[in-house]
Amino acid sequence: MSVSIEDLRQRARRRLPRTVFDYVEGASDDGFTTAANRRSFERYLFRARSLVDVSVIDHSTTLLGERLATPIILGPTGLAGLLAPRGEELAAKAAASRGAVFTLSTMSIGTIEEVAAASSAPLWFQLYVWKDRGVTQSLVERAKAAGYRALCLTVDVPVMGNREQDRRNGFTVPPRLHFSNVMDVLRHLGWVLRMTSSPRATFGNFVDHPALTQANAVGVARFTNSQFDPAVTWKDVEWLRSIWPGPLVLKGISCAEDARKAVSLGVEALVVSNHGGRQLDFLPAAIDVLPEVVDAVEGRSEVILDGGIRRGSDIVKAIALGARACMVGRPFLYGLAANGRAGVERALDILTSEVDRTLALLGCPRLSELDRSALRLDAPASLERVTTSSHLGPHALPRRAGGTHES
């Protein structure tokens, strides 16, 4: 039985062909930021209060004017439908069963309409702006027509990050068999058999796109770099404002200046994110950027933290630092690969029960009442916990004996 997100990760690793698992794990360049996203949570220790009645725990939150049963949002992840047939639909159904928001990526396998029809979860649509603004506008209109509640523009992919493992693996969409991965694919025949029931193995929203129909298979970076517009600016945010009637969310904010600019344009929510360390390497950990952004927006926009969450205690720390909710990427993908819809529900349940236990032990029964007084920001180095590298993943950095993370 999987009792932690790490357990789900191990199961996902066993069940997926190496090239697909590597795509999920994918970090850019040296993997510094991916590792920092995890490691930096260890710098924030708790200040617990005792003798508080914690018999009833409330982990609900409000976001974009809606009361949400959980502060956990399933973040946008391209190609989730390669982890399980109809993967996006399964994850969106799991989100609905737990009252969580599901964010559909532009680059999903399942289409905007299929996912909306499959799930009653609050749905957000994540947008990448295509050079062809006609394509972009039609994505926005389809999301509107299908009832998505918020438009989440990702702002940290002017070009694709350097995912070296995907390049070594020759990872393509659809995934192709070649000499170097034939043994690996044969060892994962269960996945191959399961995927035969998938309606497709390419980007569902663009099945008729010439670049996809003319080629056998496309490299992800090559395809996205040829279609995504590297010239997107704040002007496009204003344009999206004019064609999207609902709330607008910007995902990938990593400094106060951009946060203030977004607020001045009336953006309703910001996602402090470094894309799980898949884009610009050597951005700081998302949790370390969060206070800067929270302080800059001064409550004029809601702030969401994304990146490195593997424990409920990570969520509690982010909320204490001023986030309204947290997005998770890999944690729910591990669940999806491990056991489909039930695996995503397991990932959500693990994190939620960890949030509840943490709140009880912290002496703060209401998530919405957390503030920075729940944390010690001056954690002495002697209290540093030594984390196993498997917990941090393949990009764990060596620790310096006796030093703090900053030294």
Ligand X SMILES: CCCCC(=O)C(=O)O
Ligand Y SMILES: Cc1cc2nc3c(=O)[nH]c(=O)nc-3n(C[C@H](O)[C@H](O)[C@H](O)COP(=O)(O)O)c2cc1C
Per the CB < 8 A criterion, the answer to whether 16 and 191 are in contact is yes
Count, residues in the chain: 407
Question: Which residues, at least 6 apart from 126, have a Cβ–Cβ distance to it below 8 Å?
Answer: 76, 103, 104, 105, 106, 152, 153, 154, 251
Neighbours of 396 (CB within 10 A): 17
Asked if 301 interacts with ligand Y (CB under 6 A), we say no
Site size toward ligand Y, by CB under 6 A: 26
Nearer to ligand X, 279 or 358 (CB): 279
Neighbours of 404 (CB within 10 A): 12
Binding mask 5-44 for ligand Y (x = CB under 6 A): ------------------xx------------x-------
What part of residues 145-164 is at the interface with ligand X (CB under 6 A)?
157
Nearer to ligand Y, 74 or 116 (CB): 74
CA-to-CA dists, residue 393 to 9, 162, 347, angstroms: 10, 18, 17
Which residues of 84-203 form beta strands (DSSP E)? 101-104, 123-127, 150-154, 172-173
Task: For residues 234 and 28, give the distance between their C-alpha atoms in angstroms, rounded to a whole number.
Answer: 25
For 215-252, the three-class secondary structure string (H helix, E strand, C coil) is CCCEEHHHHHHHHECCCCCHHHHHHHHHHCCCCEEEEE
Q: Report which secondary-structure segment, H or E, holds 46.
A: strand 45-46
Binding mask 229-268 for ligand X (x = CB under 6 A): ----------------------------------------
CA-to-CA dists, residue 188 to 1, 170, 194, 323, 339, angstroms: 21, 18, 10, 40, 15
In the list 15, 39, 43, 275, the residue contacting ligand X (rule: CB under 6 A) is: 275
395 labelled ligand-binding = no
What part of residues 121-160 is at the interface with ligand Y (CB under 6 A)?
126, 154
What part of residues 236-265 is at the interface with ligand Y (CB under 6 A)?
251
Asked if 79 interacts with ligand X (CB under 6 A), we say yes
Which residue number places its CB atom closest to ligand Y?
Answer: 329
In the list 122, 308, 343, 393, the residue contacting ligand Y (rule: CB under 6 A) is: 308
Task: Give the CA dihedral 396, 397, 403, 405, nearest 10 degrees.
Answer: -70
C-alpha atoms less than 13 angstroms from C-alpha of 335 in its C-beta half-sphere: 27
Examine the residue annotation and report whether 59 is marked as an active-site residue of this protein.
no
Neighbours of 6 (CB within 10 A): 19
Which residue number places its CB atom closest to ligand X?
Answer: 78
Tokens of 232: 């997107």
61 labelled ligand-binding = no
The one of ligand Y, ligand X, none whose footprint includes residue 307, by CB under 5 to 8 A per kind, is ligand Y
Q: For ligand Y, which stretch binds (CB under 6 A), given 226-234, 302-310, 336-344, 372-380?
A: 302-310
Task: For residues 378 and 366, give the distance between their C-alpha atoms in angstroms, rounded to a whole number.
Answer: 24
In the list 81, 175, 204, 276, the residue contacting ligand Y (rule: CB under 6 A) is: 276
The one of ligand Y, ligand X, none whose footprint includes residue 224, by CB under 5 to 8 A per kind, is ligand X
* Catalytic one of 59, 178, 188, 275: 275
Question: Which residues, at least 6 apart from 111, have a Cβ–Cβ distance to it below 8 Å?
Answer: 204, 205
Asked if 77 interacts with ligand Y (CB under 6 A), we say yes
Nearer to ligand X, 157 or 320 (CB): 157
The one of ligand Y, ligand X, none whose footprint includes residue 24, by CB under 5 to 8 A per kind, is ligand Y
In the list 107, 151, 173, 232, the residue contacting ligand Y (rule: CB under 6 A) is: 107
In the list 220, 232, 290, 392, the residue contacting ligand X (rule: CB under 6 A) is: 220
Per the CB < 8 A criterion, the answer to whether 367 and 116 are in contact is no
* Residues annotated as part of the active site: 275
Footprint on this chain of ligand Y (rule: CB under 6 A)? 23-24, 37, 75-78, 105, 107, 126, 154, 251, 273, 275-276, 278, 306-309, 327-331, 333
Binding residues for glyoxylate: 23, 128, 163, 275, 278
Footprint on this chain of ligand X (rule: CB under 6 A)? 78-79, 107, 157, 220, 224, 275, 278
